[in-house]
Amino acid sequence: MGNGGLFELRLVAPRDGWPQEKAWRNSSGADRILDAATVHGSVADAVADLHHVLATCPRPRHIIKPVLTARGAAAELRAITARGLRAGILFGPERAGLDNDDMAHADALVRVPLNPEFMSLNLAQAVMIVAYEWWTAADQTPPRELMTNETEVATKARLETLLTHLTAELDASGFLRNLPKRPGMVRNIRHFFERGEATEQEIRTLHGIVTELSLGRRQRGRVEAEIGGGPTSTADKGPKPH
Amino acid sequence: MGNGGLFELRLVAPRDGWPQEKAWRNSSGADRILDAATVHGSVADAVADLHHVLATCPRPRHIIKPVLTARGAAAELRAITARGLRAGILFGPERAGLDNDDMAHADALVRVPLNPEFMSLNLAQAVMIVAYEWWTAADQTPPRELMTNETEVATKARLETLLTHLTAELDASGFLRNLPKRPGMVRNIRHFFERGEATEQEIRTLHGIVTELSLGRRQRGRVEAEIGGGPTSTADKGPKPH
């Protein structure tokens, strides 16, 4: 309930009485929900001050009533509360669920659409899904966004500098020495790097990688040049691309 | 998992070994998931044959990675599997969650949007919500529909017959005797009855109610007429509306 921002709990004729110490032990800190819970003798009494009541129901039979998905229910409850009306959701006991008399108090039923070939939803899971839908019905989180934490997405100019750096080193290494193929190869490299929304920090790291890898090649080239006494220009070509 | 139509479970280095008898005892009959579960030494091994991996993560820090809502993740996974690619979702152990090395294997992270002031989602609840979103991403259940079971929504003509019956009895009872107000009263009654998508069965019941209530009034009228010896026409007016 707390996860979904629902904090008002009403209990109808609790089988083992109320309060029960184990409820507080198992509530993961949701004491305020339990402290404020009210106990009622009947469903009619529990819903008396509400304007709109939904009842969760796995497989209703012989009932003529609107049935909402959990998502449809959340949208409807948001609309109703936005009109200043008070709404509630009825959940049944763990195994038996709500009986037909209980459901008759509801404006509409809520049925969570799940795999009909393996449906085993307990009370806690039903509450979790309905509360989750209630919360997300008003949530503005974009479905996908790049989390960058301490850094920021780099501008295209910053990426361009990296690609210029990389291309220069690839030219120096000989990786791009096939001139007819060079433009296509450069473009394909760009396609990969443009795809990932590189951040400032990643651009710096990639500059470092290019510099370090090139440095290794150059130092080896210099060593080879010293040992073999050949021209530096040859050594600068570095390892062949494979 | 089964509720949401997810049946392939991969375990990475399970702390207490595998198989564990209590898993079968607590699975509510999802034996096929447990029977087919595979055990892997590392996340890298567990995801090796997949093309796309999402990792659930409550509060990622110091990570540059796309973050999806559970709903966004479901849509993305549906799109990826529709392309014939294999995808998986990583969940972390109960308390610690996934570590940074585990998350680094993922294409993107999944964070369930819930009440930031009371966030206490255990592993089972996280799996429930992600599986529920996976299922509903392909579910066609209308958000709201009238469940009529054995009966059907009545046509407007059937409702008209009922309203004609009701109006005639209300005329006979004197409820509509204020002629200037009569058209508005009839219209208001119609407004209420048109609202509820009455079914064939309910129309029959309502005809019965109107007939029975009128019959009671008429019989009482007859008795009163017999006792008082007054004209039947007066008794037919019945009780005054209040």
Mean pLDDT value across residues B57-68: 84
Q: Which residues of B touch A150 (CB under 8 A)?
A: 62
Residue B111 and residue B56: Cα distance in Å, rounded? 6
Query: CA B68, B72, B76, B77 torsion: positive or negative?
Result: positive
Confidence band (pLDDT; 50, 70, 90) for B238?
very low
Is the confidence at residue B239, as pLDDT, over 50? no
Mean pLDDT value across residues A229-238: 45
Task: Give the number of other Cβ atoms within 10 Å of residue A198's Cβ.
Answer: 22
Residue B27 and residue B11: Cα distance in Å, rounded? 16
Hey, is B90 helix, strand or coil?
strand
Q: Which residues of A touch B115 (CB under 8 A)?
A: 2-5, 135
Burial class (CB in 10 A: 0-12, 13-18, 19+), A127: middle
Mean pLDDT value across residues B196-202: 91
Query: CA A67, A71, A72, A73 torsion: positive or negative?
Result: positive
Residue B213 and residue B118: Cα distance in Å, rounded? 54
- Put simply, whether A64 touches B (Cβ < 8 Å) is yes
Q: Which residues of A touch B132 (CB under 8 A)?
A: 112, 114, 129, 132
Is the confidence at residue B60, as pLDDT, over 80? no
Confidence band (pLDDT; 50, 70, 90) for B229?
low
Is the confidence at residue A125, as pLDDT, over 70? yes
pLDDT of residue B236: 42
Hey, is B68 helix, strand or coil?
strand
Enclosing H/E stretch for A144? strand A144-147
Is the confidence at residue A9, as pLDDT, over 80? yes
pLDDT of residue A124: 93
Burial class (CB in 10 A: 0-12, 13-18, 19+), A17: exposed
Mutate one of A128, A148, A150 to test the B interface: name it (highest B CB count within 10 A).
A128
Provide the CB-side half-sphere exposure for A234 (13 A, CA). Answer: 8
Q: Are A190 and A203 in contact (CB under 8 A)?
A: no
Residue B120 and residue B68: Cα distance in Å, rounded? 19
Using CA atoms, how far residue A107 sits from A39, B2, B205, B232, in Å, is 22, 30, 19, 43
Q: Are B194 and B162 in contact (CB under 8 A)?
A: no
For chain A, helix, strand, coil in percent to 5 are: 45, 10, 40
The percentage of chain A sitting over the pLDDT mark of 70, rounded to a whole number, equals: 94
Question: Is A69's CB within 8 Å of B148's CB?
Answer: no
Alpha helices in B55-180 (DSSP H): 70-82, 100-103, 123-136, 156-173
Residue whose C-alpha is closest to residue A54's, from A30, A17, A23, A90: A90
Question: Is B3's CB within 8 Å of A109's CB?
Answer: no
Mutate one of B31, B78, B111, B132 to test the A interface: name it (highest A CB count within 10 A).
B132
pLDDT of residue A229: 56
Residue whose C-alpha is closest to residue A108's, from A130, A135, A76, A137: A76
Confidence band (pLDDT; 50, 70, 90) for A232?
very low
Residue whose C-alpha is closest to residue B35's, from B58, B14, B9, B12: B9
Confidence band (pLDDT; 50, 70, 90) for B111?
very high
Mean pLDDT value across residues A40-64: 91
Is the confidence at residue B230, as pLDDT, over 70? no
Q: How far is A120 from chain B (nearest CA, A)?
A: 6
Confidence band (pLDDT; 50, 70, 90) for A241?
very low
Burial class (CB in 10 A: 0-12, 13-18, 19+), B173: buried
Is the confidence at residue B222, as pLDDT, over 90? no
Q: Write out pLDDT tens, residues A29-47.
A: 999 999 999 999 999 999 9
* Chain B residues 148-187 with a CB less than 8 Å from chain A: 148-151
- Put simply, whether A30 touches B (Cβ < 8 Å) is yes
Residue A2 is given by DSSP the state G
Is the confidence at residue A2, as pLDDT, over 50? yes
Q: Are B186 and B176 in contact (CB under 8 A)?
A: yes
The ipTM assigned to this model is 0.84
Where is average pLDDT lowest: A5-14, B34-43, B100-109?
A: B100-109
Residue A112 and residue A2: Cα distance in Å, rounded? 20
Q: Which residues of B touch A119 (CB under 8 A)?
A: 3
The percentage of chain A sitting over the pLDDT mark of 90, rounded to a whole number, equals: 75
Pairwise pLDDT comparison (B59 vs B67), residue with the higher score = B67
Where is average pLDDT lowest: A8-17, B17-26, B142-151?
A: B142-151
Residue B14 and residue B18: Cα distance in Å, rounded? 7
Residue B28 and residue A166: Cα distance in Å, rounded? 57
Query: Hey, which residues does B153 pair with through a beta bridge?
Result: B199
- Put simply, whether B133 touches A (Cβ < 8 Å) is no
Query: For the sheet containing B108-110, what is the strand order?
Result: A144-147, B65-68, B108-110, B52-56, B87-90
Q: Write out pLDDT tens, residues A136-155.
A: 999 999 999 998 888 999 99
In this prediction the pTM is: 0.85
